Amino acid sequence: MLQSLITHSTTQKISLLESNFWITLLTSSPSFKMPQRSPEFSGSVKLKYVKLGYQYLVNHFLTFLLVPVIAGILLELIRLGPDEIATLWKSLQFDFIQILCSSYLIIFISTLYFVSRPRPVYLVDYACYKPPVTCRVPFSCFMEHSRLILSTEPKSVEFQMRILERSGLGEETCLPPAIHYIPPAPSMEAARKEAEMVIFSAVDTLFKKTGLEAKDVDILIVNCSLFSPTPSLTAMVINKYKMRGDIKSFNLSGMGCSAGMISINLARDLLQSYPNSIAVVVSTEIITPNYYQGKERSMLLPNCLFRMGGAAIFLSNRRSDSIRAKYRLLHVVRTHKGADDKAYRCVFEEEDPEGKSGISLSKDLMAIAGEALKSNITTIGPLVLPASEQLLFLISLMGRKFFNPKWKPYIPDFKQAFDHFCIHAGGRAVIDELQKNLQLSAEHVEASRMTLHRFGNTSSSSLWYELSYIEAKGRMRKGNRVWQIAFGSGFKCNSAVWKCIKSIEIPTDGPWSDCIDRYPVDIPEVVKL
């Protein structure tokens, strides 16, 4: 009897510790840390202006170098006068063969440049799926369902409530119809119906907005991580819209929340190979077959965070589409940590001891995400950062290598490279940590926070809801650069850089059309249920 009581008490303590760990993991800053600049440097007004002057000097170094040279040449020409200039020109002897060879060389180099340079890839437009109000899951509804489904597991119900209170989600997020049943009724038919509802609605909206016809689509890519039926989702789309028989279709699965950036990368590579082509990318996650009905806490987390969502994106390399396109794709950077066993298993689909399948999140998730992010930043930095930031980073790197390894590495100011940031709305903690370590303002991460609040974690499509939020607020201007960052199972960190090529008017439709005036909203640390 005594042994039984001791065992029961120990089990309760372990359960409580595990619960507190997961709540801390999702609602506070992750465990990984990136070095910070000294507060004295950033807080000093004088040094602030010194830094601004340094940035201006380094970033415009060539201009400062060329202006005196050009001015000197102009002054010399003015001093010589027109007669001496004409005499000097006549004194030059030009051989016909030399002129001909020089002309051919210039033509050859110009042709080689225009043929070998990559084709520009344009984002003409995109559309996000907006779930119907009948699919909404207020906190009270979610918790009531949890109590009924897990009636014999009050601690698991309490755990979900504590996660939901601190999640950053709002009252208007949505789950598919099959999950509204008590108990949930996932099936292949229900999953297909959800896929049709989300994907067809997004594609219909895209076709209507752009005037694009199904027969004009040359490349079709659909990414959905956890639902991969036969025939594929791409086949489902082709059948629905009666697309051409020679269409190049690709179905990506199992790649997690960062699969949207992988699809963009694949579309870019294909558009480099096929001139005058149009690609449609569909990013979504089907919730129905993956709603966990067990009691393992590491597998209950996705139930609290993931919600319905999807997006359809129209990409093109046709010159005629550049006139109406919104953005031009500049870079896609992909980082994969799958060679490490912990990284490979940190987001893992498996069965619990009772045979119920779900997605298990490892306790190492945040540390692994931090390493993936650092690798991605290291790769993308030289591609986008101005010369002033790269020079400071190089000086810091050389100083640590040759003088003092304990020097804090310089973290570049990415606000010098980007005007807008779309951080995957995977959870409040990730957004908090990226904001702190990249030294972003509240406005820079506003789109991510509000997307998490209004739509929840919509997996790979969340980045497009965030971009739509920025547009709905009227903040996107011609020349602005956008950085999209996403994390996914495997473990991956993928990012894309877009440049706005025209000022975008505030849209009258879209997922934010009926609520943008209410945002941004204040999101408390804890919402008491």
What is the residue-level pLDDT of the chain in tens, covering all 529 positions?
A: 334 433 444 444 444 444 454 554 444 444 333 334 433 434 444 444 455 565 555 565 667 677 777 777 777 777 777 777 777 666 666 666 766 777 777 887 877 766 667 889 999 999 999 999 999 999 999 999 999 988 888 898 999 999 999 999 999 999 999 999 988 999 999 999 999 999 999 999 999 999 999 999 999 999 999 999 999 999 999 999 999 999 999 999 999 999 999 999 999 999 999 999 999 999 999 999 989 988 888 899 999 999 999 999 999 999 999 999 999 999 999 999 999 999 999 999 999 899 999 999 888 888 888 889 888 988 898 888 888 777 877 777 777 777 877 777 777 888 989 999 999 998 888 898 888 878 899 999 999 999 999 999 999 999 999 999 999 999 999 999 999 999 999 899 999 999 999 989 999 899 999 999 999 999 988 888 7
State the Cα–Cα distance between residues 370 and 366, nearest whole angstrom. 6
Q: List CB contacts of 448: < 8 A, sequence separation 6 or more.
A: 421, 422, 423, 424, 425, 431, 466
Q: How far is CA 184 from CA 75, 148, 172, 251, 291, in A?
A: 82, 11, 20, 27, 8
Catalytic position from the list 420, 422, 437, 494:
420
Is position 331 annotated as part of the catalytic site? no
Is position 420 annotated as part of the catalytic site? yes
Q: Which among 148, 182, 140 is positioned nearest to 164, based on CA atoms?
A: 140
Q: List CB contacts of 136: < 8 A, sequence separation 6 or more.
A: 171, 172, 173, 174
In 362-478, which ranges are E strands? 420-423
In 431-491, which ranges are E strands? 481-488
**3-state secondary structure (DSSP) of residue 495:** strand
Catalytic position from the list 303, 453, 480, 493:
453
Catalytic position from the list 128, 224, 257, 346:
257
State the Cα–Cα distance between residues 226 and 252, nearest whole angstrom. 10
Catalytic position from the list 376, 424, 437, 500:
424
Q: Quick one: DSSP state of residue 332?
A: E
* Strand-pair category, 420-423 with 357-361: unpaired
Q: List CB contacts of 417: < 8 A, sequence separation 6 or more.
A: 384, 385, 386, 389, 481, 483
Residues in the chain: 529
Catalytic position from the list 251, 290, 437, 457:
457
Helices 45-59 & 387-402, crossing angle to 10 degrees? 110
**3-state secondary structure (DSSP) of residue 225:** coil
pTM of the full structure: 0.84
Q: Which among 29, 160, 21 is positioned nearest to 430, based on CA atoms?
A: 29
Is position 336 annotated as part of the catalytic site? yes
Is position 424 annotated as part of the catalytic site? yes
**3-state secondary structure (DSSP) of residue 339:** coil
